[in-house]
């Protein structure tokens, strides 16, 4: 019987080892360890043995059963792992295929520039003021020290609708309106918006374009405050290394008037094609608010002074992004617009 | 203004500065130098030649074979100019010479004949055609006899010069003259200004013996001076004068006209010369024109005058359009022997009006418009008389014929140094301010610590204290101004709720896949009202530049659709654009109602996940979903109802309703509209955005997250095709009461298995009670009510 047991054991262990999958192995389990299997039969047949041999044989059968069970479980674990691996293998995907596209649009580059400037000044305590695009001659010119017949009106040939109504040529009328509405109180505003001039559209001119202007009025506002404010603007907008330079200029609504250049952000000031070899880029016009403008809006120009500045988002976008033709901003070619998707921060 | 540095040096020492450095200093001090132009253009080896012999080329009609003395040696040069002749002094570019445009001159053979160089026209020396004297416009330039054969043309004729092109702002009319620029340069460099010396011998006869003067419009013409010069010989001006005029951008004509132009450039004072004999009457009368009176100006244009045009007449008929242009009837010609030189002060408003009326601008009118120096009117006349006497051999009659009612006083501006420093945020010393004013040649007295400044009349732009602040600052240097920040009460700053929500709208639309477009506000009258939500009278420009940009838009869609077509024509088949902007509506008020609108236009694929085979074209519901999401974002309730609009598909158009008002339209373009615009299926939206942005949403309060489960029941209905899902949804909601939380369409079937004219719509209904778990019976009770209401509404329940 002992010999029979040994053969059984050898046979079972061979079959376990030969099992190639979980199902086959379960078959082996049932065949050898099941209720109708040979080991159970052996245990049942123990009654026929002499009483003194029974404990010894019983122990022997149990050992064989445990050995077979252990081998079976070990094999089972191995086969299960193999099965999982095979499944994972079969589920493998090509991770280099493109992802499902998320349809996103983006802001127009001019909006991007305008909002960047707005946010920058909002952080310095400015509010955003807006006004009509179709304006009275009074707010567009007269309230800004440009009476009828003033030679500087030639600088901005305008689209008139009637003798007294026109498409605004700058966003300055918003300043004039704000001053009138504030009734002599201090002001800190930014005025963005569309403006119109009688120009033929070409690579550098557009009959419609964008402007963003700023106005600060308060007690003892000095020209140094203008310089400091513009310097903060230039560094935040174009980088910490930017230097600014003021040049005398002329605007009827400011006195003194200046143009502001920044050191070229492409070459750092050594001269390149962007700055036309000068190292400087002309960015905006500014000045101290002309006393006539203050007085017309009801401000006491002896007590309150102010500064104003204005710039063209088109020009800034052209410089910043290297756009060579202003018409790109108004044809809305999606191959152009969609390039302004990503952040620069 | 073109400033020849050689010419400028007659009046001011430029301290040997290189032209570019001088230009930079001028720019930094306030007058922008737009260009620095080297008049020599890098030319070399160009000399005066004497044409000893000139014969026709045997092989070519148009060529001449010339033997040219180039100083010691004689070279054979072939010349193609029609005006070449023996005995002329000409400009010769010798072999090895370089001409403007980096043209190299080499020995050559032309039709078998040797040519050792080139005889040049002025154009070949880099002078613009419009500046070349008419006599030489089509050929070579002929030098005066006295030109020294073999001498260097570049140095002899002042081509070794640099011109600064000034971009003048309207306030700096003072710099529209060489002397004015000299004052500016003198202020920058702390140099004195030397004025021209005027000297001539007067004839015994007086000007008034030949000429009488009447001024009938003293307001428009407060000062008029006339000098008379007789026995003049009208001829070409000397080279130096011609060169200076060409450097200044003026074409030389003859010695008389050239002197008037020269003095105009020198003093900034316009002058005019009349042929005395052509005046016929010996009288000059300045008056306003008679309505309909005619004059032919020097540009040969016949002009009809009106009463606000000021004219110079001979007492009978106009002989010049005052301050703008002379008349052809009194023009100086080769046969002229006696001339009248006019120097006058005309009020700027009058000249501007005339210049505008006749669309005629001249060097004279542009100076009068900006205002000339009252104190240069008389000196300019004297200067012209002396130059004409010198260059024409004429004799100047004694005295002038003059009318003078002009105020020539200097304006006094008083300003305190503290005021200047307070405006600038600086601490410039009193002494430094005095030094700067001295550099400007402003006579200044210090009285009680104040600067009392007599402003020279050439600087009409200096009127108030702030103008002095600028003069001090610009000459002290803007680099010296410190950088500070305004010291004022801090304000929070920020966007208004309206502006803030506008950004939310933009961000939402961009997140939904739309690109922001910006289009023009001006359009044609034809498309100004297409897709307009509310049409008002159109607003047209008084003087449009073109019909395409003549009228203010009343809707955004026409231009947005043009942008879509622009893209699809360039093979961008899928386009989704939005724009926010004003439309312009007429109201009773003075100005227009500028209503902020939102427009969207979409065409092509909405979803394109190529390799996974998922593609979805845009349709009505894609855009409707975007609008619904936008309304949800803004907390605004919108409704949609079937609508109609020209240009939109009649079965695929809806009005957008808010609080019972139509605020927008959404739909698919009509097939014929699509065809006209070369578009495939395109879905559009035009909506009043201001209404959405002005709506004040309710305060956001959280509702407790449900603690009890909800229960769903589905119901499939067979409906007549014309019944709208929206009305069925309303029926369900009304019957469902407050336990019915949600109604959702989850299926629509209109296929072949349906009875003719019917469709199947399936709804999913969610019941929920925040207080307890609903029992099956409770739900059934409500649901039965819903079902019976649906039956009453004519819906057939589908099993
Ligand atoms: Zn650069």
pLDDT digits (tens, 9 = 90+) for B490-529: 778 899 999 999 999 999 999 999 999 999 999 999 999 9
> Domain check: are B465 and B343 in the same one?
no
> Domain check: are A12 and A117 in the same one?
no
Q: What is the pLDDT of residues A138-165, one digit of tens each?
A: 999 999 999 887 766 765 589 999 989 9
How many CB pairs (< 8 A) connect A and B?
A: 246
Instruction: Measure Cα distances from B146 to A137, B89, B137, B166 in Å.
Output: 61, 9, 22, 35
The whole-number average pLDDT for the span B33-59 is 92
Taking the centre of ligand 1 as the mean of its atom positions, its distance from the CA of residue B195, in whole angstroms, is 42
Q: What is the CATH number of the domain that holds B727?
A: 3.30.70.380
Whether A127 maps to a domain, the answer reads: yes
Number of structural domains (chain B) is 6
Residues 672-731 of B with CB under 8 A from A: none
Confidence of residue A202 (pLDDT cuts 50, 70, 90): very high
Q: Does B572 lie at the interface with A, CB-CB under 8 angstroms?
A: yes
> Domain check: are B231 and B248 in the same one?
yes
> Domain check: are A72 and A221 in the same one?
no
Whether B194 maps to a domain, the answer reads: no
The whole-number average pLDDT for the span B449-461 is 95
Binding site for Mg(2+): what residues of B are annotated? 461, 467, 470-471
> Domain check: are B394 and B252 in the same one?
yes
Q: Which of B359, B382, B404 is the last residue of a domain?
A: B404
Structure tokens at B722: 């014309």
Which chain A residues contact residue B491 at CB under 8 A?
Answer: 125-127, 188
Answer yes or no: is pLDDT of B718 > 80: yes
Nearest CA in chain B to A200: B545
Tell me if B483 and A128 make a contact (CB, 8 A cut-off): no
> Domain check: are B215 and B300 in the same one?
yes
State residue A208 phi and psi, 5-degree precision.
-125, 130
Which chain A residues contact residue B630 at CB under 8 A?
Answer: none
Whether B683 maps to a domain, the answer reads: yes
Residue B89's H or E segment, with its range, is strand B89-99
> Domain check: are A54 and A133 in the same one?
no
> What sections of chain A are H helices per DSSP?
2-18, 22-33, 38-44, 54-90, 109-122, 137-140, 172-182, 223-238, 291-296, 313-321, 328-331, 334-337
Q: What is the CATH number of the domain that holds B649?
A: 3.30.930.10
Whether A177 maps to a domain, the answer reads: yes
Q: Does B540 lie at the interface with A, CB-CB under 8 angstroms?
A: yes
Question: Range of A10's domain?
Answer: 2-90
The whole-number average pLDDT for the span B573-600 is 96
Tell me if A256 and B566 make a contact (CB, 8 A cut-off): no
Answer yes or no: is pLDDT of B606 > 90: no
Query: How many Å apart are CA B207 and CA B231, to the nearest integer?
Result: 14
The sheet that has B32-38: what strands, in order across it? B2-4, B162-167, B32-38
Query: How many Å apart are CA B215 and CA B224, to the nearest integer?
Result: 8
Any residues with CB less than 8 A from the CB of B490 and at least 6 apart, and which? A125
Q: What is the pLDDT of residue B21?
A: 95
Tell me if B591 and A136 make a contact (CB, 8 A cut-off): yes
Size (chain A), residues: 345
Q: What percent of chain A has pLDDT over 90?
A: 64
Taking the centre of ligand 1 as the mean of its atom positions, its distance from the CA of residue A281, in whole angstroms, is 8
Q: What is the CATH number of the domain that holds A244?
A: 3.30.930.10
Whether B485 maps to a domain, the answer reads: no
> Domain check: are B213 and B240 in the same one?
yes
> Domain check: are B536 and B649 in the same one?
yes
- Name the maximum alpha-carbon separation found in chain B: 131
> Domain check: are A152 and A297 in the same one?
yes
Confidence of residue B706 (pLDDT cuts 50, 70, 90): confident
Confidence of residue B652 (pLDDT cuts 50, 70, 90): very high
The whole-number average pLDDT for the span B115-123 is 93
Lowest mean pLDDT among B103-112, B211-220, B406-415: B103-112
Query: How many Å apart are CA B295 and CA B319, to the nearest integer?
Result: 7
Answer yes or no: is pLDDT of B429 > 90: yes
Interface confidence, given as ipTM, is: 0.88
> Domain check: are A49 and A149 in the same one?
no
B113-127: string of b/e by CB count within 10 Å (b at 16+)? bebbbbbbbbbbbbb
CA B667 to chain centre: 40
Tell me if B521 and A154 make a contact (CB, 8 A cut-off): no
Q: What percent of chain A has pLDDT over 70?
A: 99
Taking the centre of ligand 1 as the mean of its atom positions, its distance from the CA of residue A265, in whole angstroms, is 7
Cα angle, residue B146 at apex, residues B150 and B154 outer, rounded to 5° = 45
For the four alpha carbons of B693, B699, B702 and B703, in that order, the dihedral sign comes to negative
Answer yes or no: is pLDDT of A78 > 80: yes
Whether B492 maps to a domain, the answer reads: no
The CA distance from B577 to the nearest CA of chain A, in Å, is 9
The whole-number average pLDDT for the span B664-676 is 97
Tell whether pTM > 0.90.
Answer: no
Number of structural domains (chain A) is 2
**Average pLDDT of chain B, as a whole number:** 94
Q: What is the pLDDT of residue A152?
A: 67
Q: Which of A90, A125, A145 is the last residue of a domain?
A: A90
Tell me if A159 and B606 make a contact (CB, 8 A cut-off): no
Query: How many Å apart are CA B456 and CA B195, to the nearest integer?
Result: 15
> Domain check: are B556 and B677 in the same one?
yes
Taking the centre of ligand 1 as the mean of its atom positions, its distance from the CA of residue A314, in whole angstroms, is 18
Residues 243-282 of B with CB under 8 A from A: none
Strands B2-4 and B103-104, by their bridges, are: unpaired
The whole-number average pLDDT for the span B304-308 is 93
Residues 352-411 of B with CB under 8 A from A: 352, 369-370
Residues, CB within 5 angstroms of ligand 1 (ion): A 264, 266-267, 272, 274-275
Query: How many Å apart are CA B277 and CA B340, to the nearest integer?
Result: 10
Lowest mean pLDDT among A234-243, B276-285, B373-382: A234-243
Lowest mean pLDDT among A238-242, B171-175, B434-438, B605-609: B605-609
Binding site for Mg(2+): what residues of A are annotated? 255
> Domain check: are A23 and A79 in the same one?
yes
Whether A11 maps to a domain, the answer reads: yes
Which chain B residues contact residue A335 at CB under 8 A?
Answer: 570, 572
Whether B702 maps to a domain, the answer reads: no
Using DSSP's 3-state secondary structure scheme, residue B418 falls into helix
Q: What is the pLDDT of residue B627?
A: 98
Whether A160 maps to a domain, the answer reads: yes
Whether B488 maps to a domain, the answer reads: no
Any residues with CB less than 8 A from the CB of B192 and at least 6 apart, and which? B12, B13, B186
Q: Does B589 lie at the interface with A, CB-CB under 8 angstroms?
A: no
Q: What is the pLDDT of residues B502-513, one digit of tens each?
A: 999 999 999 999
> How many Cα atoms are found within 13 Å in the side-chain-facing hemisphere of B99?
22
> Domain check: are A133 and A21 in the same one?
no
Tell me if A127 and B479 make a contact (CB, 8 A cut-off): no
Nearest CA in chain B to A278: B24
> Domain check: are B84 and B177 in the same one?
no
Q: What is the pLDDT of residue B279?
A: 93
Query: How many Å apart are CA A3 and CA A10, to the nearest integer?
Result: 11
Tell me if A224 and B488 make a contact (CB, 8 A cut-off): no
Whether B701 maps to a domain, the answer reads: no
> Domain check: are B766 and B633 in the same one?
no
> Domain check: are B543 and B589 in the same one?
yes
The CA distance from A287 to the nearest CA of chain B, in Å, is 10
> Domain check: are B19 and B72 in the same one?
no
Query: How many Å apart are CA B631 and CA B504, to the nearest integer?
Result: 11
> Domain check: are B517 and B664 in the same one?
yes
**Average pLDDT of chain A, as a whole number:** 91
Check: CB of residue B380 under 8 Å from CB of residue B271: yes
Residues 410-429 of B with CB under 8 A from A: 422-426
Q: What is the pLDDT of residue B395?
A: 94
CA B153 to chain centre: 40
Residues 722-761 of B with CB under 8 A from A: none
Of residues B283, B273, B306, the one with CA closest to residue B403: B283
Whether A206 maps to a domain, the answer reads: yes
Taking the centre of ligand 1 as the mean of its atom positions, its distance from the CA of residue A263, in whole angstroms, is 8
Q: What is the pLDDT of residue B120?
A: 93
Residue B454's H or E segment, with its range, is strand B450-455
Query: How many Å apart are CA B406 and CA B409, to the nearest integer?
Result: 9
Q: Which of A90, A125, A147 is the last residue of a domain?
A: A90
Which chain B residues contact residue A145 at CB under 8 A?
Answer: none
> Domain check: are A283 and A323 in the same one?
yes
Which among B466, B483, B509 is the nearest to A228, CB-wise?
B483
Whether A265 maps to a domain, the answer reads: yes
Query: How many Å apart are CA A138 and CA A122, to the nearest integer?
Result: 29
Q: What is the pLDDT of residue A103?
A: 83
The CA distance from A312 to the nearest CA of chain B, in Å, is 15
> Domain check: are A195 and A86 in the same one?
no
Q: What is the pLDDT of residue A59?
A: 84
Which among A108, A188, A216 is the nearest to B516, CB-wise?
A108
Whether A99 maps to a domain, the answer reads: no
Taking the centre of ligand 1 as the mean of its atom positions, its distance from the CA of residue A242, in whole angstroms, is 12
Tell me if A224 and B425 make a contact (CB, 8 A cut-off): yes
The CA distance from A30 to the nearest CA of chain B, in Å, is 47
> Domain check: are A240 and A332 in the same one?
yes
Q: Which of A36, A62, A90 is the last residue of a domain?
A: A90
Q: What is the pLDDT of residues A12-63, one digit of tens each?
A: 889 998 988 888 888 888 888 888 888 777 777 777 888 888 888 888 888 8
Whether B486 maps to a domain, the answer reads: no
The whole-number average pLDDT for the span A241-253 is 92
Using DSSP's 3-state secondary structure scheme, residue A309 falls into strand
Q: What is the pLDDT of residue A154?
A: 61
Question: Range of B83's domain?
Answer: 44-156
The CA distance from B616 to the nearest CA of chain A, in Å, is 12
For the four alpha carbons of B74, B80, B81 and B84, in that order, the dihedral sign comes to positive
Q: What is the pLDDT of residues A256-294, one digit of tens each?
A: 999 999 999 888 888 898 888 889 999 999 999 999 999
Residue in the structure block whose two tokens are 């030397």: B194
For the four alpha carbons of B11, B14, B15 and B18, in that order, the dihedral sign comes to negative
> Domain check: are A12 and A57 in the same one?
yes
Whether A198 maps to a domain, the answer reads: yes
Any residues with CB less than 8 A from the CB of A253 and at least 6 apart, and which? A144, A145, A146, A172, A287, A289, A290, A293, A308
Tell me if A110 and B518 make a contact (CB, 8 A cut-off): yes
């Amino acid at each position: 019987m002992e010999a029979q047991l040994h053969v059984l054991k050898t046979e079972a262990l061979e079959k376990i080892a030969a099992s190639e999958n979980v199902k086959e192995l379960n078959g082996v389990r049932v065949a050898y360890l099941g209720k109708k299997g040979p080991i159970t039969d052996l245990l049942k047949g123990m009654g026929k043995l002499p009483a003194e041999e029974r404990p010894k044989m019983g122990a022997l059968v149990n050992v064989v059963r445990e050995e077979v069970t252990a081998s079976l479980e070990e094999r089972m674990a191995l086969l299960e792992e193999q099965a999982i691996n095979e499944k994972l293998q079969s589920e493998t995907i090509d991770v280099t295929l493109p992802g499902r596209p998320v349809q996103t649009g983006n802001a127009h580059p001019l909006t991007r520039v305008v909002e960047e400037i707005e946010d920058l000044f909002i952080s310095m305590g400015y509010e955003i003021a807006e006004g009509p695009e179709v304006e009275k001659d009074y707010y567009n010119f007269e309230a800004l020290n440009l009476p009828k017949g003033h030679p500087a009106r030639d600088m901005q040939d305008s689209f008139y609708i009637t003798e007294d109504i026109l498409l605004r040529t700058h966003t300055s009328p918003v300043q004039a309106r704000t001053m009138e509405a504030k009734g002599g109180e201090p002001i800190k505003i930014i005025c963005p918006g569309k403006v119109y001039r009688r120009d033929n559209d070409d690579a550098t001119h557009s009959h419609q374009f964008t402007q963003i202007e700023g106005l600060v009025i308060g007690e003892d506002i000095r020209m140094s405050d203008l310089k400091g404010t513009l310097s903060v603007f230039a560094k935040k907008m174009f980088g910490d290394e930017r230097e600014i330079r003021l040049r005398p200029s002329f605007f009827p609504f400011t006195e003194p008037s200046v143009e502001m250049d920044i050191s070229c952000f492409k070459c750092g000031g050594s001269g390149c094609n962007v700055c036309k070899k000068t190292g400087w880029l002309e960015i905006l016009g500014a000045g101290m608010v002309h006393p006539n403008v203050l007085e017309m809006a009801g401000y006491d120009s002896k007590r309150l002074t102010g500064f104003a500045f204005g710039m063209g988002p088109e020009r800034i976008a052209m410089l910043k992004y290297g756009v060579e033709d202003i018409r790109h901003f108004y044809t809305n070619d999606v191959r152009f617009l969609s390039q302004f998707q990503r952040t620069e921060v | 203004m073109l400033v020849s540095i050689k010419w400028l040096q007659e009046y001011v020492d430029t301290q040997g500065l290189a032209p570019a450095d001088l230009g930079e200093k001028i720019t930094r001090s306030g007058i922008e130098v737009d260009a620095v132009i080297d008049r020599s253009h890098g030319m070399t080896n160009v000399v005066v030649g004497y044409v000893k012999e000139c014969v026709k080329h045997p092989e070519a009609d148009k060529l001449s074979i010339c033997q040219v003395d180039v100083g010691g040696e004689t070279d054979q040069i072939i010349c193609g100019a029609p005006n070449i002749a023996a005995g002329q002094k000409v400009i010769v570019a010798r072999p090895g010479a370089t001409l403007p445009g980096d043209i190299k001159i080499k020995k050559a053979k032309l039709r078998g004949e040797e040519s050792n160089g080139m005889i040049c026209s002025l154009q070949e020396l880099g002078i613009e055609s419009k500046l070349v004297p008419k006599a030489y416009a089509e050929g070579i330039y002929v030098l005066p006899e006295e030109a020294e054969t073999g001498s260097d043309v570049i140095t002899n004729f002042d081509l070794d010069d640099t011109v600064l092109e000034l971009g003048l702002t309207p306030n700096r009319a003072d710099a529209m003259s060489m002397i004015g620029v000299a004052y500016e340069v003198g202020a920058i460099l702390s140099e004195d200004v030397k004025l021209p010396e005027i000297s001539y011998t007067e004839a015994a006869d007086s000007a008034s013996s030949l000429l009488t003067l009447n001024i009938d419009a003293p307001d428009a013409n407060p000062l008029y001076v006339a000098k008379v010069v007789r026995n003049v010989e009208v001829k070409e001006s000397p080279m130096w004068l011609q060169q200076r005029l060409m450097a200044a951008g003026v074409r030389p004509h003859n010695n008389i006209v050239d002197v008037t132009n020269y003095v105009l450039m020198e003093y900034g004072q316009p002058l005019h010369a009349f042929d005395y004999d052509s005046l016929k009457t010996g009288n000059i009368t300045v008056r306003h024109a008679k309505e309909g009176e005619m004059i032919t100006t020097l540009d040969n244009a016949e002009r009809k005058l009106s009463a606000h045009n000021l004219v110079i007449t001979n007492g009978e008929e106009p002989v010049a359009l005052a301050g703008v242009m002379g008349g052809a009837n009194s023009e100086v010609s080769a046969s002229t022997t006696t001339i009248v030189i006019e120097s006058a002060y005309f009020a700027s408003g009058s000249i501007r009006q005339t210049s505008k009326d006749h669309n005629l601008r001249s060097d004279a009118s542009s100076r009068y418009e900006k205002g000339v120096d009252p104190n240069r009117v008389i000196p300019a006349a004297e200067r012209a008389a002396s130059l004409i006497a010198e260059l024409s051999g004429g004799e100047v009659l004694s005295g002038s014929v003059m009318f003078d009612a002009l105020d020539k006083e200097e304006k006094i501006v008083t300003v305190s140094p503290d005021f200047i420093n307070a405006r600038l945020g600086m601490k410039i010393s009193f002494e430094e301010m005095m030094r700067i004013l001295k550099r400007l040649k402003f006579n200044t007295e210090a009285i009680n610590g104040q600067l009392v400044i007599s402003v020279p009349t050439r600087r009409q732009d200096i009127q108030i204290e702030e103008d002095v602040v600028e003069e001090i600052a610009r000459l002290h240097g803007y680099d010296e101004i410190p950088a500070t920040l305004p010291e004022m009460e801090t304000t929070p700053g920020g966007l208004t709720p309206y502006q803030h929500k506008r950004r939310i709208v933009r961000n939402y639309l961009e997140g939904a896949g739309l690109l922001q477009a910006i289009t023009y506000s001006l359009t044609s009258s034809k498309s100004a009202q297409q897709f307009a939500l509310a049409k008002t009278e159109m607003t047209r420009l008084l003087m449009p530049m073109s019909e395409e940009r003549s009228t203010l838009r009343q809707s955004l869609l026409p231009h947005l659709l043009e942008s879509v077509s622009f893209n699809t024509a360039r093979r961008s088949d899928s386009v989704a654009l939005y724009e926010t902007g004003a439309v312009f509506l007429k109201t009773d008020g003075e100005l227009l109602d500028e209503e902020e609108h939102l427009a969207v236009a979409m065409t092509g694929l909405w979803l394109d996940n190529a390799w996974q085979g998922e593609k979805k074209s845009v349709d009505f519901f894609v855009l409707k979903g975007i609008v619904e999401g936008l309304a949800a974002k803004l907390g605004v309730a919108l409704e949609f109802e079937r609508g109609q609009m020209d240009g939109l598909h009649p079965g695929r158009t809806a009005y957008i309703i808010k609080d019972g008002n139509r605020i927008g339209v959404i739909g698919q373009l009509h097939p014929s509209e699509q065809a006209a615009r070369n578009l495939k299926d395109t879905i559009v939206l035009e909506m009043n955005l201001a209404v959405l942005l002005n709506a004040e949403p309710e305060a956001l309060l959280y509702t407790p997250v449900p603690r009890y489960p909800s229960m769903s029941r589905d119901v499939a209905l067979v409906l007549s095709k014309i019944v709208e899902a929206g009305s069925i949804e309303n029926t369900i909601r009304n019957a469902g009461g407050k336990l019915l939380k949600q109604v959702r369409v989850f299926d629509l079937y209109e296929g072949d298995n349906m009875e003719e004219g019917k469709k199947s719509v399936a709804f999913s209904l969610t019941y929920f009670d925040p207080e307890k778990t609903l029992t099956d019976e409770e739900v059934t009770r409500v649901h039965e009510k819903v079902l019976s209401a649906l039956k009453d509404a004519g819906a057939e329940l589908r099993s």
